[in-house]
Amino acid sequence: MKKAKSTARKENSIEKVLNSISLSQKAPLGMYVLLVILYIATCAIVSSTASSKGVIDIFGVKLGVYAFAGIFSAISNICVMFIVVYFGKLGFITALVALLAQLPMVLVGIIIKGNAESLPGVFTSVFTLIAVVIIYVNNIRIQKYQKKMRDQAVMDRLTGLPNRFACSELVSDLIKREEKFAIVSIDINNFKSINDTMGRNAGNEVLIEAASRWKTIADSDETATLDFISRQSGDEFSLIIRDYNSEEDILNTIRKYQAALEKKITVDNCDLYMTASFGYAQYPTDADSSDAILSSADAAVYELKRINSSNHILRFTPDLLRNERNTEIERKIRTALVNDSLYFNLQPQFDIHHNLRGFEALARMKDADGTMISPGEFIPVAEKAGLIDKVDISVFRNAARFFGQLIKKTGADITLSVNVSVRHLMKNDFLDEIRNVIDNCGVPADKLEIEITESIMIDSAEKALQCINEIKKMGLKIAIDDFGTGYSSLSYLINFPADLLKVDKSFIDKMNSSDSAKQYVAAIISIGHIMNFDVISEGVEEPEQLETLREINCDYIQGFIWGRPLSPEAAEDLVMQTVQK
């Protein structure tokens, strides 16, 4: 049993895998058998036609049967050539045997039977033999060259391990064959400090030593699984584990690689004790495409690094991708704040007769490659990372600066609404920031409106209320955003110094298909009016929704039906059209 496993392992050594994924494949064995049969058949025809005295009549032309021997001899030689070209050593030996077996037969015919007509056949055989040797020798040279090129393309120069290309080729190949496997992303811990303190050469020696230990394990019987180790880049390696029965097998294999690295490494007379983080994912359980499975294993290893865990092995779980994406977004927000590259759009708000009321400023962020990241994605990350106040103030300042100039230029009587997170609102310096914006941007306080989301506001009611009262005293308006999604009690609302209720889009969406949703919106509008609030409906897209909102006395409309979020230039055009009317 052990022997069988060992033979299988030998057949699947790293080199074998590399050959199978990167060198041109041999032709199928069936073709070999076919060529050999064709060769034997044509030789038999040649020998029977060459000595035949018969005559064939083709359309009145009389031809001796022996004349066809040449054609079949050519076909047999072509078969031999094909066998050598496509079947390497096996083909070469077959060709030699076939050609050398022909010679004595022809020579016997010439010498013993005195049949001099067979002499050209001898030359043909000798020349074919020479051609076969030349083809074979050339083929070997081409293959050596191919192997050299292959090695350069798929091997890592420093460690001699397969590189990332070889690894992803094998992953794609396994996925194509639907063979289950685990991929482990390995990252050597604190490798940077070796490079920084002992120099790059020492770092290289550590990598070479780690690679050599791991290659020894992969090529040996030490693990119960079939392993393929490769270097991705720097101190990152990948291990592909196959032929396992349970997750425990995977873990046992990883532990072997872990233990091999953790043994002392001596570099420049220094004893180093290295560790590494191993994040792994399984195909097809965790992901079903090549990119996804590699990223999943990476996500697991990044998480290990992030939490700086003493346990150095972690399996991928889907929530890790979310963490990874969030970390990436957080980095992007930080960069955007430093570069001041967060920008804003302005979505128009209208009264029910389609007169412009003002705009809501909405934060926008783009990736380095120009792809938009939606606020639905980056605002919650900014909140969690404690960056929301910086985002809010950046949008607030830029939008207010633009808006101040716009009012000055056009004299329009319009309002600017800005979204403020409650966490930001409750910071002590928030009021100073608002004063600062008003003093520097030239927007009258009563033309500014602060939007606060209902659900968050309720959680922190008391403190929020103090700040909101202060803001009101400064002359700004207050809007309760996404109204209906939280659980405001009526007694709470009655004491709340808001000016505007913004009915959430989710209710507007359902309004025309569900009578109760329509009644609900009508009730919000009535309650809002009783409490002296104006009511605006968000996310209005359909004319039917607009019609219903008119019927139930909604005051204002914000939605794609009358205006999507606009660039400041487009918003300015809209204001110009309005004032020129």
Residues at the site binding ligand C2E, with contacts judged by CB under 6 A: 347, 362-363, 374-376, 379, 388, 391-392, 395, 419-421, 451, 481-482, 538-541, 558-560, 565
CB-CB contact of 422 with 452 (8 Å): yes
Instruction: List the alpha helices (DSSP H) in 220-285.
Output: 247-262
Q: Where are the alpha helices (DSSP H) in 163-317?
A: 164-176, 191-198, 200-219, 247-262, 290-307
Nearest in space to 501 (alpha carbons), one of 434, 461, 459, 553: 553
- For residues 313 and 448, which CB has a smaller minimum distance to ligand C2E in the complex? 448
Give the shortest CB-523-to-Mg ion separation in angstroms: 19
* Residues sharing a CB contact under 8 Å with residue 430, sequence separation 6 or more, in sequence order: 389, 420, 424, 467
* Assigned token pair, 231: 């270097």
Interaction partner, residue 297 (ligand C2E, Mg ion, none; CB < 5-8 Å by kind): none
Least distance (Å) from ligand C2E to the CB of residue 473? 22
* 425 CB-contact burial (10 Å; exposed 0-12 / middle 13-18 / buried 19+): buried
Q: Using the 8-state DSSP alphabet, how is residue 485 labeled?
A: S
CB closer to ligand C2E out of 281 and 511 = 511
The entry of ligand C2E, Mg ion, none that residue 559 binds, CB within 5 to 8 Å by partner kind: ligand C2E
Nearest to 80 by CA among 93, 67, 66: 93
CB of 430 to ligand C2E, least distance (A): 12
Q: Which partner, Mg ion, ligand C2E, none, binds residue 236 by CB below 5 to 8 Å per kind?
A: none
Q: Residue 392's binding partner, choosing from ligand C2E, Mg ion, none, with beta-carbon cut-off 5 to 8 A by kind?
A: ligand C2E
Q: Which is nearer to ligand C2E, 80 or 388 (CB)?
A: 388
Q: Tell me which of Mg ion, ligand C2E, none is bound by residue 121, counting a contact when its beta carbon lies within the kind-specific cut-off of 5 to 8 angstroms.
A: none
Partner whose footprint covers residue 293, from ligand C2E, Mg ion, none (CB < 5 to 8 Å by kind): none
Other beta carbons within 10 Å of 435: 12
Residue 392 beta carbon to ligand C2E: minimum distance, rounded to whole angstroms: 5
> What one-letter code names the amino acid at 323?
N
Instruction: Report, in Å, the least distance between residue 501 CB and Mg ion.
Output: 11
**Residue 321 site contact among ligand C2E, Mg ion, none (CB < 5 to 8 Å, cut-off depends on kind):** none
What DSSP character marks residue 554?
Answer: -
Cβ nearer to ligand C2E, comparing 22 with 421: 421
Contacts of 57 (CB under 8 A, 6+ apart): 63
In angstroms, the CA 295 to CA 171 distance is 12
Smaller CB separation from Mg ion, 258 or 485: 485
* Helix, strand, coil content of the chain in percent (nearest 5): 60, 20, 25
Q: Which does 347 bind (CB under 5 to 8 A by kind): Mg ion, ligand C2E, none?
A: ligand C2E
Q: Which is nearer to Mg ion, 313 or 554 (CB)?
A: 554
Residue 42 or 419 having the CB closest to Mg ion: 419
Scanning 66-163, the segments in alpha helix (DSSP H) are 69-86, 88-111, 119-154
Q: What minimum distance in Å lies between the beta carbon of 391 and ligand C2E? A: 6
Complex with Mg ion: residue 482 or 534, whichever CB lies closer: 482
Report in angstroms how near the CB of residue 149 gets to Mg ion at its nearest: 59
Q: Which helix (H) or strand (E) holds 390?
A: helix 388-410
109 binds, among ligand C2E, Mg ion, none (CB under 5 to 8 A by kind): none
- Map tokens 């056009």 to a residue: 410
Q: Which does 375 bind (CB under 5 to 8 A by kind): ligand C2E, Mg ion, none?
A: ligand C2E
389/572 with CB nearer ligand C2E? 389
Question: How far is residue 550's CA from residue 546's CA, in Å, rounded to a whole number?
Answer: 6
Length of the chain: 581
Amino acid at 289: S
Burial classification of residue 100, based on how many CB atoms lie within 10 Å of its CB (0-12 exposed, 13-18 middle, 19 or more buried): exposed
CB of 180 to ligand C2E, least distance (A): 41
Task: Please report the beta strands in 484-564, taking only residues with DSSP state E, as ranges in sequence order.
Answer: 500-503, 534-538, 556-558
Shortest Å, Cβ 263 to Mg ion: 59
User: What gap in Å lies between CA 184 and CA 278, rounded to an integer?
Assistant: 6
Q: In terms of CB distance, is 118 or 455 closer to ligand C2E? A: 455
Min. distance of Cβ 323 from ligand C2E in angstroms?
21
Query: Which of Mg ion, ligand C2E, none does residue 281 bind to, with CB < 5 to 8 Å depending on kind?
Result: none
- Helix segments in 340-387, DSSP class H: 375-384
Helix (H, G, I), strand (E, B) or coil at 222: coil
Contact partner, 492, from ligand C2E, Mg ion, none, Cβ < 5-8 Å per class: none
Please state, in angstroms and rounded to a whole number, the distance separating the CA atoms of residues 340 and 398.
10
Which of Mg ion, ligand C2E, none lies near 379, with the C-beta cut-off 5 to 8 A by kind?
ligand C2E
Half-sphere exposure of 172 (CA within 13 A, CB side): 10
**Smallest separation (angstroms) from ligand C2E to the CB of 394:** 8
Cβ nearer to ligand C2E, comparing 209 with 481 = 481
Contact 343, 392 (CB under 8 A): no
Ranges of beta strands (E only) in 23-86 are: 55-58, 61-64
In the complex with ligand C2E, the residue whose CB is nearer, 375 or 528, is 375
Least distance CB 556 / Mg ion (angstroms): 13
- Closer to ligand C2E at the Cβ: 296 or 394? 394
> C-beta of 573: minimal distance to ligand C2E in Å?
19
What count of other Cβ atoms lies within 10 Å of the Cβ of residue 140?
A: 13
- For binding to Mg ion (CB under 5 A), which residues are involved? 419, 451, 481-482, 538
